[in-house]
Amino acid sequence: MAAPAGDSSLLTDKLGVDIDPELLSRALTHRSYSYEHGHVPHNERLEFLGDAVLGQAVTVLLFTTNPDLDEGGLAKRRASVVSTVALAEIARGIGLGEHLKLGRGEDQTGGRDKDSILADTMEAVIGATYMSAGQDAAAALVRRLIEPLLADPDRYGAAIDPKTSLQELAAQLGFAPPVYSVDAAGPDHDRVFTATVSVADFASTGTGSSKKHSEMAAALDLWQTLSKRR
């Protein structure tokens, strides 16, 4: 059976907060692992809590640091930094994937780098932080995690609508519009979609639980590559 590959103490060092080991272990446990290991507790309840903590912390931070933004602007920025694509990127930045507890099938099909799993686990870790160290510590963790995104305003549009951002960037660079192709694998109740997007001689892939999410992940990755050429 699949097991986490990383030392969780390395993860807590990167997070910069003490989390109860039992809660952290649960936060890292995907339901596929639970199913294969006697239905041990998994992370979906912590994910539910973490989603609420994340939303509140981001809302307060954006409200207090952007006094000139109206409600629409604040809502757009909040949506971008709490999106699945953005949270998955944050998770990759701290190496979260190597610490996941996944079932064998999920592990073998690339679950450690799947946007939806990484984003959900990131929320669960935030929930575990709240339960272990309280609201202030959880809010501080959220701020540390999202500051790299907030430091680059161009990422707002790319994170919330990467396909449009990629198309606009391709046009700016004088390239033809992006071309997408999508493959799907797995049973109907747990399909995994893999998208490939190409612009000129550049290409990226992305995975997700739907065609849309896989295309968004691929588009953001290629946007990041092409944005370095501007």
Tokens 């952007």 locate to: 66
Query: Which residue carries 């103490």 as its tokens?
Result: 9
Residue pointed to by tokens 């998994």: 42
- Which amino acid makes up residue 141? L
List 89, 115, 123, 161, catalytic entry:
123
The dihedral built from the CA positions of residue 81, 82, 88 and 90, taken in this order, carries a sign that is: positive
123 assigned to active site: yes
> Are 8 and 118 contacting, i.e. CB atoms less than 8 angstroms apart?
no
115 assigned ligand-binding residue: no
Ligand-binding site membership of 98 (annotated): no
Tell me which of 51, 107, 215, 221 is the catalytic residue. Answer: 51
Question: Is there a binding annotation on residue 7?
Answer: no
Question: What percentage of the chain's residues is helix, strand, coil (to nearest 5)?
Answer: 65, 10, 25
Q: In sequence order, what are the beta bridge partners of 204?
A: 197
Whether 188 is catalytic is no
Catalogue the active-site residues: 51, 123
Q: Would you list which residues are annotated within the binding site for Mg(2+)?
A: 47, 120, 123
Q: Would you list which residues are annotated within the binding site?
A: 47, 120, 123
